[in-house]
Amino acid sequence: MLVLSKSSSRLKVIACSLASAGILIACNTATTEPATPPIPFKAVATLQDIMTAIIDPNIDFVWNSVSSVSTASGTEERQPQTDEDWRLLRQHASSVAEAANLLLIEDRPIAAANAVTSSGGAELTPAAIKTLIAEHRQEYLQRAQGLQTAAQGLLLAIEAKNVEELEKAGGEVEQACEQCHSQFWYPGDARPK
Ligand code: HEC
Give the tens place of pLDDT for each residue, 92-131. Answer: 999 999 999 999 999 999 999 889 888 777 899 999 999 9
Q: Which of 4-13, 15-24, 165-174 has the lowest mean pLDDT?
A: 4-13
Alpha-carbon Rg for the chain, nearest whole angstrom, is: 23
Q: How far apart are CA 183 and CA 178, in angstroms?
A: 8
Closest CA to 186 of 111, 124, 121, 110: 124
Residue whose Cα lies nearest atom 39 of ligand 1: it is 177
Q: Which of 10-24, 53-67, 143-157, 178-192 has the lowest mean pLDDT?
A: 10-24
Give 94 Cα–ligand 1 centroid separation in angstroms. Answer: 17
Per-residue pLDDT of 152-191, as tens digits, reads 999 999 999 999 999 999 999 999 999 999 999 999 776 5
Number of residues that this document lists for the chain: 193
Cα dihedral sign, 43-48-54-58: positive
Q: Which ligand 1 atom sits nearest the alpha carbon of residue 176?
A: 5
Q: How far apart are CA 53 and CA 31, in angstroms?
A: 44
Closest CA to 123 of 183, 174, 173: 183
Q: How far apart are CA 115 and CA 128, in angstroms?
A: 13
Average pLDDT over residues 40-53: 96
User: Ligand 1 pocket, 47 CB below 6 A?
Assistant: yes
